[in-house]
Amino acid sequence: MSETYKILTYPESVLLTKSDVVENIDEDTQKLIDGMAATMYAAPGIGLAANQVGNLQRILVYDLSPQDKDRNLSVLINPEIVHSEGKIEYEEGCLSVVDFASEVTRPSYVKVQGVDRHGNPVTIEAEDLFAVCLQHEIDHLNGVLFLDHVSTLKRAMYKKKLKKMLKKGGPVTKL
């Protein structure tokens, strides 16, 4: 099993920064992917973007398999949503947003293009939870948190709660 990374949490500035396109998939890229996968599984989560572990490359990993089943890791490098439609409301949480979940409305279907960990082009059509997961992780790569999709009031309430947690020396990072 690969080494795990520390998951950065809001308000870390790297989470609000757009990630850079990966130009070259090399050994360091593969190590990052393996570490991200180990981190996601250890958390546990269903997706993780590179900037959540402090790396500003357009890489995400995901696995929607139930935790007690065989793992089915997927990797997307330089993913872009090329089409979306429909509407779904889903309660989202985030490994980088401690102690908060909220209903978020997103397209229920997305078509995403990118490359896999070996540089092969991939096109993914996703619906429902799978579509939500991809949009959530691609948002991360664009410096957007799911907090940006909730009401101003809910966001303000969370920020107030977070300030109190931080004053008390509460969680700033997970793992």
Residue 110 is which amino acid?
Answer: V
Give the Cα separation of 20 and 59 in Å (integer).
Answer: 9
Structural element, H or E, at residue 159: helix 152-167
**Could you confirm whether 23 is annotated as catalytic?**
no
Alpha carbons 163 and 153: distance in angstroms, whole number = 15
Which residue is catalytic, options 3, 80, 91, 137? Answer: 137
Q: Determine the Cα–Cα distance for residues 136 and 41; give it in Å rounded to an integer.
A: 17
DSSP code of residue 133? H
Residues belonging to the active site: 137
